[in-house]
C-alpha cells in the first residue's frame, strides 16, 4: 500500500511541475493569434467603410450626369 501512495505522490508532483513549467514559460501563447484576428477584423472594417464611401460618391456623381 505504501508503494501505491508513493507512486501516486510522485505522479502528482511530476504533473504539477510540468503544468507549472508550461504555464510560466509560455504565458502569452494565444495572444498572438488573438492579435492577428483583431487586426484582420480592423482591416475588413476599414475596407468596408472605404468601399461604402466610394460607392456613395460614384452613385451621387452618376445622379448629376442625367
Q: What is the domain extent for residue 28?
A: 2-65
Q: How many domains does the chain have?
A: 1
pLDDT on residue 42: 95
Q: How far, in Å, CA of 48 to CA of 60, rounded?
A: 18
Please give the average per-residue pLDDT across 10-14, as a whole number. 85
pLDDT on residue 28: 67
Q: How far, in Å, CA of 11 to CA of 17, rounded?
A: 10
For the stretch 14-48, pLDDT in tens is: 888 888 887 777 666 667 788 899 999 999 999 99
Please give the average per-residue pLDDT across 37-63, as a whole number. 93
Residue 61 has pLDDT above 80, yes or no: yes
Q: How far, in Å, CA of 44 to CA of 52, rounded?
A: 12
Q: Looking up cell 504555464, which residue turns up?
A: 23
Amino acid at each position: 500500500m505504501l508503494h501505491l501512495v508513493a507512486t501516486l505522490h510522485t505522479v502528482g508532483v511530476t504533473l504539477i511541475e510540468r503544468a507549472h513549467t508550461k504555464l510560466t514559460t509560455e504565458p502569452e501563447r494565444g495572444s498572438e493569434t488573438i492579435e492577428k484576428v483583431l487586426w484582420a477584423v480592423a482591416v475588413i472594417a476599414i475596407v468596408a467603410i472605404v468601399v461604402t464611401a466610394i460607392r456613395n460618391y460614384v452613385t451621387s456623381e452618376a445622379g448629376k450626369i442625367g
